[in-house]
Structure 1
């Protein structure tokens, strides 16, 4: 049976020489022969070991776990080791699919929103996690118990400003996420998280040039609602989609505002009132 030096063998099996040495050093991939001069020789039988290593590596196994799979684990034990790794991959897949979906929404927003636009739409229920008010970081330890998990799911979770429609200078910054998405990705929710019921909302799409002295998006949205005879009910929620030229004097904010309302003429409302999770 023909033998191959490490350089030729690595090319034949599609890995680097460092790969072969690494798994040899961990006792998993032993060359067919090592000469007194320390030259490594492999044959075609070593190729199947390389393929098994790559396969198990792709399943998420560490080097130590691969060694255990090769020598010490039964079929049932190997499947048991795989299960949490596959669960983690499924979670990563949900995240990647969510990021792709958010990108597609962002792209559509940027293509269609050449100037501010408004809609009256049905909006699904969402959560709001408060974080910062006009005084600084909110002093509630429950926030910081779950905040690190929430931020890991940006941009599915979004930076969000909340303020009373009647006093939008009294703002709170935090994070928002649709309740259905939160459930799907397993976001932790505790008593500091506020829930906003779904319903009909006034939805305002804004491109805001921060440098220019102009009405901010909340002021413009409320003015448009006044023109339409819509009365804000409860709080304004302003989701930040993206900043461009973020650290320059020409920073541009792309955002969507959601405002529950009632029609002054018909007394119907959007049912988007705030409630806390108890």
Structure 2
């Protein structure tokens, strides 16, 4: 069987000498050694082990596990390792699908602001979870809330900037919403987030949706909500549930901020 010096073998296999030494460290490769010259030699059988090792590392298996697989483990243990990798890959694929879904949602949002700014439509709001975070320009003091907010911040890009306005506040003409964070219901459930109190669940509802898009001025949220409710009234709609306000991506043409909001106001079935 033909033997190759380290530099030759490295070139034929397309791996660095450093990588070969790394494989030696884990006993994935055990080259022949000339006792007189101390030169190490490889053959094509070592090449097969490199090919198998690179294939397994590309599947997410560690070099330590590969070493055990090649030298010690039985077939049942190898199947266990591959099963674990299969499960991990499934989790990664689910995470990618969630990100793709979020990208699609953001594209839809941007399209609304481009094509239908400052207009209204009837649309279905997806179920979501909301937790208050800021009121009267100060963080709401609640230890459990802080932990939930921290978890939500780990879930970006799925976490949304939201504001919440209870129907009872609208009825007494108090239109200053509570700002906070939120996440779509199905995403929260998949990620196994803590959605117990003080988290609020807002079920799927038919809504009067207003796409607010204006240059940022001193106008307050109370004034924006009053404007939306007035438009609703003119169109023959009245609020039938708690309002959710979703912050848009916003734009900054010529360094001026364009303030964007999706304002979801539930309506009753007979108003549709």
Q: TM-score range by the shorter chain?
A: 0.7 to 0.9
**Which runs of 5 or more structure 1 residues have no equivalent in the other structure?**
271-278
- The CA RMSD over aligned residues, in Å, is 3.3
Q: Give secondary structure in 1 for the equivalent of 2:267.
A: strand
Q: Give secondary structure in 2 for the equivalent of 1:232.
A: coil
Aligned twin of 1:274: none
2:165 to 163, 166, 170: 163
Aligned twin of 1:257: 263
Q: Give secondary structure in 1 for the equivalent of 2:270.
A: coil
Pairing 1:144-163 to 2, within 5 Å after superposition = 144-163=146-165
- Determine if contact 1:95/1:153 at 8 Å carries over to the other structure: no
Structure 1 or 2, whichever has the larger Rg, is 2
The superposition leaves residues 61-84 of structure 1 with CA deviations (integer Å, 9 ceiling, x where unpaired) of: 233222233333333223334444
Q: How far apart, CA to CA, are the structure 2 residues paired with 1:9 and 1:52?
A: 16
**Which runs of 5 or more structure 2 residues have no equivalent in the other structure?**
none
Aligned twin of 1:125: 127
- Determine if contact 1:94/1:185 at 8 Å carries over to the other structure: no
- Go from structure 1 to structure 2 and tell me whether the alpha carbon gap of 1:42 and 1:132 turns closer, same or farther (over 3 Å shift): farther
Q: How far apart, CA to CA, are the structure 2 residues paired with 1:254 and 1:34?
A: 73
- Determine if contact 1:163/1:172 at 8 Å carries over to the other structure: no
- Determine if contact 1:142/1:190 at 8 Å carries over to the other structure: no
Aligned twin of 1:239: 246
Q: How far apart, CA to CA, are the structure 1 residues paired with 2:9 and 2:135?
A: 62
The number of residue pairs the alignment matches comes to 263
- Go from structure 1 to structure 2 and tell me whether the alpha carbon gap of 1:214 and 1:147 turns closer, same or farther (over 3 Å shift): closer
- Go from structure 1 to structure 2 and tell me whether the alpha carbon gap of 1:23 and 1:242 turns closer, same or farther (over 3 Å shift): farther
Aligned twin of 1:190: 196
The superposition leaves residues 10-67 of structure 1 with CA deviations (integer Å, 9 ceiling, x where unpaired) of: 4443434333222222332333447776655432212222222223223322332222
Aligned twin of 1:172: 179
The superposition leaves residues 160-214 of structure 1 with CA deviations (integer Å, 9 ceiling, x where unpaired) of: 222344434242312221x23322343332232211121211223343433x455
- Determine if contact 1:91/1:185 at 8 Å carries over to the other structure: no
- Determine if contact 2:122/2:209 at 8 Å carries over to the other structure: yes
> If each structure's helix is expressed as a fraction of its own residues, which one has the higher value?
2
TM score, norm. by length of structure 2: 0.77
Q: Give secondary structure in 1 for the equivalent of 2:145.
A: helix
Q: Give secondary structure in 2 for the equivalent of 1:242.
A: coil
> If each structure's strand is expressed as a fraction of its own residues, which one has the higher value?
1
Moved more, 85-94 or 34-43: 34-43
